[in-house]
Chain A
Amino acid sequence: MTELSATPAAILPDDAPTERLKRPSILRKLRRDKAAMLSAGFLAVVVALGLLAPWIAPYDPYDNNLRMMLKPPSAAFWLGNDGLGRDMVSRLLFGIRTTLAMGLLAVLAGGSIGAVLGLTAAYFQRLEGPIMRVVDILLSFPSILFGLAIAAVLGAGTTSITIALTVAAVPSIARITRGAAMVVMQQEYISACRAIGMSDARIMFRHLLPNCASTIFVYLTLQLGQTILLGAALSFIGLGAQPPTAELGTMAADGRNFLFFAPHVSTIPSVVIFMIVLAFNVLGDALRDVLDPRLRQ
Chain B
Amino acid sequence: MRTPKRGTLLGTLALAALLPAALLQAAAPAAAQSTVTVMRTIDTDRYDPHKSTARSTAEALFMVGDTLVALDPDLKTVHPLLAKSWTVSEDGKLYTFKLRDDVTFCSGKKFTAKDVKGSIDRWLDPETKGVVKNRAGDVKEVRAVDDYTVEYELTQPYSELLFQMTQHFHTIINIDQVKELGADFGVKGFDGTGPYCFESWEPRNELVLKKHEAYKWGPAFYDNKGPAKVDRLVWKIVPEDNNRVAGIQSNQGDATQYIPYWAVDQLEANPQIAVTKAPNYFWTYFVGFKITREIADDLTIRKALNLAVDQKAIAEGPFFGKAEPAYSYIHPNVLDYNKQGVDQSLFGFDPEAAKKLLDEAGWKVGSDGFRYKDGKKLHLLAYSFTNIWQQIMEAMQGDMRKVGAELEIQVFDATVIWGKLATQDFDMFTMSYPYVSAGDAMNLYFPSANRPTPNRVNWADDETDKWLLEGRGALTPEDRFAAYAKIQKKVHDAAIWIPIVHEPMFVAAGPRLKPIPAHGIYGAGLYKGLGIELK
- A and B in direct contact, judged by CB atoms within 8 A: yes
| Interface, chain A (partner B; CB < 8 A) | 62-67, 69-70, 83-85, 152, 155-157, 238, 242-244, 254, 256-262
CA distance A243 to B242 in the complex (A): 22
B411-442 contacts to A, CB under 8 A, are 411-413, 416
CA distance A257 to B242 in the complex (A): 7
Contact pick for A64, options B386, B394, B410, B413, CB 8 Å: B394
Residues of B within 8 A of A242 (CB): 409-411
Residues of A within 8 A of B266 (CB): 260-261
CA distance A69 to B392 in the complex (A): 12
B238-271 contacts to A, CB under 8 A, are 241-242, 245-246, 260, 262-263, 266
| Cβ of A141 to closest chain B Cβ, rounded Å | 20
Flag if A260 contacts B397 (CB, 8 Å). Answer: no
Flag if B398 contacts A155 (CB, 8 Å). Answer: no
Flag if B394 contacts A260 (CB, 8 Å). Answer: no
Flag if A83 contacts B410 (CB, 8 Å). Answer: no
B252-297 contacts to A, CB under 8 A, are 260, 262-263, 266
Q: Does B92 contact A (CB under 8 A)?
A: no
Q: Does B317 contact A (CB under 8 A)?
A: yes
Flag if B242 contacts A259 (CB, 8 Å). Answer: yes
Of all chain A residues, the one with the shortest Cβ separation from B390 is A243
- If A64-B394, A243-B393 touch, whether A84 touches B317 (CB-CB below 8 Å) is yes
- The B contact surface, by secondary structure, is helix
Flag if B411 contacts A64 (CB, 8 Å). Answer: no
Of all chain A residues, the one with the shortest Cβ separation from B413 is A238
B326-376 contacts to A, CB under 8 A, are none
Flag if A64 contacts B241 (CB, 8 Å). Answer: no
Q: Does B483 contact A (CB under 8 A)?
A: no
Flag if A85 contacts B246 (CB, 8 Å). Answer: no
Give per-residue flags for B11-44: 1 if the beta carbon is below 8 A from chain A beta carbons, else 0: 0000000000000000000000000000000000
CA distance A157 to B266 in the complex (A): 34
| Interface, chain B (partner A; CB < 8 A) | 241-242, 245-246, 260, 262-263, 266, 310, 313-314, 316-318, 386-387, 390-391, 393-395, 397-398, 401, 409-413, 416
List 20 extra interface pairs beyond A84-B395, A243-B394, A258-B262, CB under 8 A. A62-B401, A63-B398, A64-B398, A66-B313, A67-B313, A69-B317, A83-B318, A83-B391, A84-B394, A85-B317, A156-B410, A156-B412, A238-B386, A238-B413, A242-B409, A243-B393, A243-B411, A244-B397, A257-B241, A257-B260
Residues of B within 8 A of A84 (CB): 317, 391, 394-395, 398
Flag if A256 contacts B242 (CB, 8 Å). Answer: yes
Of all chain B residues, the one with the shortest Cβ separation from A66 is B317
| Cβ of A68 to closest chain B Cβ, rounded Å | 10
Flag if A254 contacts B390 (CB, 8 Å). Answer: yes
CA distance A143 to B128 in the complex (A): 39
Residues of B within 8 A of A155 (CB): 410, 412
Flag if B409 contacts A66 (CB, 8 Å). Answer: no
Contact pick for A260, options B242, B387, B401, B409, CB 8 Å: B242
CA distance A251 to B318 in the complex (A): 16
A-B contact list, 8 entries, CB within 8 Å: A62-B398, A66-B310, A156-B412, A238-B411, A243-B393, A244-B397, A244-B409, A262-B262
Residues of B within 8 A of A256 (CB): 242
Residues of A within 8 A of B401 (CB): 62
Residues of A within 8 A of B412 (CB): 155-156
Flag if B317 contacts A152 (CB, 8 Å). Answer: no
Flag if A261 contacts B263 (CB, 8 Å). Answer: yes
Of all chain B residues, the one with the shortest Cβ separation from A155 is B410
| Cβ of A255 to closest chain B Cβ, rounded Å | 11
Flag if B397 contacts A243 (CB, 8 Å). Answer: yes
Of B318, B386, B413, chain A has the most CB atoms within 10 Å of the CB of B413
Residues of A within 8 A of B318 (CB): 66, 69, 83
Of A157, A254, A258, A260, chain B has the most CB atoms within 10 Å of the CB of A260
Residues of B within 8 A of A156 (CB): 410-412
CA distance A244 to B411 in the complex (A): 11
Residues of B within 8 A of A69 (CB): 317-318
